Amino acid sequence: MARRRKNRTHLKGGTASAPGTQEGVPKSFVIKHGQVGTSLAQLVRDVRKVMEPNTASRLRERARNKLKDFTTMAPALGVTHLLAFTLTDVSPSLRIVRLSAGPTLSFRVERYSLLKDVQRTSKRAKKLGTVEYLSPPLLVLASFPPPSPTTPPHLPLLMKTFQTLFPPLQPKSLSLSSARRVVLISYNSERGTVDFRHYLITVKPYGVSKRVRKVLEGATSHGASAGKSSSHGTHGILDLSNEKDVADFLLRKSGQPGPTSDGYESAASTASSVAGDDADAISLADDYVGRNNKKGMKRAIRLDEIGPRMELRLIKIVEGVPGKEGNVIYHEFVKKTKAEAAAQKAEVAAKEKLRKERREEQERNVARKKKLTGKQSGEGEADEDEDEELSDQENDKESEVEEEFEEGEWDDEEEVSEDEDEDEDDTDDAANESSEDEEVQKPPPKKAKLKDNKR
């Protein structure tokens, strides 16, 4: 039997759940350039997961690719941001480029943890599938100072850059089930760094203990047994083989006596310790993913970190894109006076003017060459027309001569008079006599003299 070939292509999550197809949605390239290690290459892949679905998750960089190749190709594909990781002598660095006119923000990656490292160290590790990445994450900016005269001028630009990386939040049109992830950008004023975190939104029943929650959610009491039961298709069956009574499972912590004298704890005390205050609970405005998460039900919201995490330090902000840098807006280590800044601005303006003049001159040269080639092609066509006219005239002349010759031809049947015949005979006799006289008058050839050699 022949193997069936798949010839259909699908968007991620279909047309409705692919916000990257809408206009005005930011799209990004997350790349690495230069010689980087395996750890930094894995960080690039993890950041691509964070930026999904509005990023090129399967983009492959080649060793001969330059940063200019991506900045040139990206605007034609509708890409608005470029995140480029590279490895320097000091530490890894990240550049966020706003295409196609800039600015460019350069960061130093002080510390970072990969997605797999966060999952290993987490007590509540979540196994993520592809459904969580079908919708863009929600952006949360924290600890940034409000705009004021004393606020450093580079911080509003930094906030604006991170805001434009993700689609804008529209509460009226946002589907509640599409809010699955959160990206937290927190500013640390003491260290002067930016913390990057990635969380998964989880919804839990409110007002019940952890054991009762497992019954409601259909989970097993042990993670190992959960994997075995799910493999056999019996997921949702609780394992009570180690319990003597159902009360031991519902009211008492394993191996620990309760707060009461009989060793049990009440459902109210467990619920308050697990779910928290009433301020942590919300009523669902719409149906949400998960079991029994219906509209209007009271649920507790929790964020589970899934990684990656980064600590970034802003080093420099430059106008323009790499290869066409302009004025330096901010630098962490280099401070310039007003005079130096004005001189730098004038230098950048002079370079831009020279670049513009060269571009205009090149365009004029191209137009002039196109005009010359057009004239040459026109002259060639005119010469061909003249040659055709001359050939036509010559053909006409030849046809006229042929016609005259045909009019002046002798008729084969026409008779010749006797006088004309006699004159022709006389001329023939005179010609024969003159030829005989010439033959007689010719002297005889001289004989060669032979010399006898006498001995």
Bridging pattern class, strands 104-113 and 92-98 = antiparallel
Task: Examine the domain organization and report whether 164 and 260 are in the same domain.
Answer: yes
For residue 132, the enclosing domain spans 19-209+251-318
Model pLDDT, residue 291: 74
In a domain, 439, yes or no: no
Q: Look up the CATH number of the domain holding residue 257.
A: 3.40.50.10480
Model pLDDT, residue 75: 87
In a domain, 232, yes or no: no
> Which H or E element spans position 205?
strand 193-205
In a domain, 424, yes or no: no
Torsion angle of C-alpha atoms 230, 232, 235, 240, degrees rounded to 10: -110
In a domain, 311, yes or no: yes
Amino acid at 337: T
Distance CA 73, CA 39 (A): 27
Q: Residue 415, SS3?
A: coil
Model pLDDT, residue 271: 43
Model pLDDT, residue 443: 60
**Cβ atoms of 308 and 50 closer than 8 Å:** yes
Task: Examine the domain organization and report whether 259 and 368 are in the same domain.
Answer: no
In a domain, 355, yes or no: yes
Task: Examine the domain organization and report whether 270 and 350 are in the same domain.
Answer: no
The answer to whether the Cα torsion of 293, 295, 299, 304 is positive or negative is positive
In a domain, 86, yes or no: yes
Report the 10 Å Cβ neighbour count for 70: 20
Distance CA 96, CA 79 (A): 13
Residue 28 makes CB contacts below 8 A (sequence gap 6+) with 51, 54, 55, 56, 79, 80, 81, 82, 83, 165
Phi, psi of 226 (to 5 degrees): -65, -40
Residue-wise burial string across 56-68, b where 16 or more C-beta atoms lie within 10 A, e elsewhere: beeeebeeeeebe
In a domain, 152, yes or no: yes
Model pLDDT, residue 224: 39
In a domain, 442, yes or no: no
Q: What is the pTM of this model?
A: 0.64
Model pLDDT, residue 440: 46
The domain tally of the chain equals: 2
Distance CA 238, CA 241 (A): 9
Task: Please give the average pLDDT of every successive group of 10 residues along the chain, which has 455 residues.
Answer: 60 42 80 91 95 92 88 91 94 93 93 92 80 92 90 92 92 86 94 94 78 64 41 57 73 52 44 50 83 82 90 94 88 84 82 88 91 78 64 62 49 47 52 50 56 48
Model pLDDT, residue 346: 85
Task: Examine the domain organization and report whether 31 and 119 are in the same domain.
Answer: yes
**Cβ atoms of 55 and 27 closer than 8 Å:** yes
Task: Examine the domain organization and report whether 264 and 370 are in the same domain.
Answer: no
> 376, 396, 426: which is the final residue of a domain?
376
> Which H or E element spans position 430?
helix 418-441
Task: Examine the domain organization and report whether 314 and 343 are in the same domain.
Answer: no
Model pLDDT, residue 232: 44
**Cβ atoms of 139 and 168 closer than 8 Å:** no
> Which H or E element spans position 370?
helix 338-407
Task: Examine the domain organization and report whether 300 and 348 are in the same domain.
Answer: no
Strand partners, 203: 301
Residue 277 makes CB contacts below 8 A (sequence gap 6+) with none
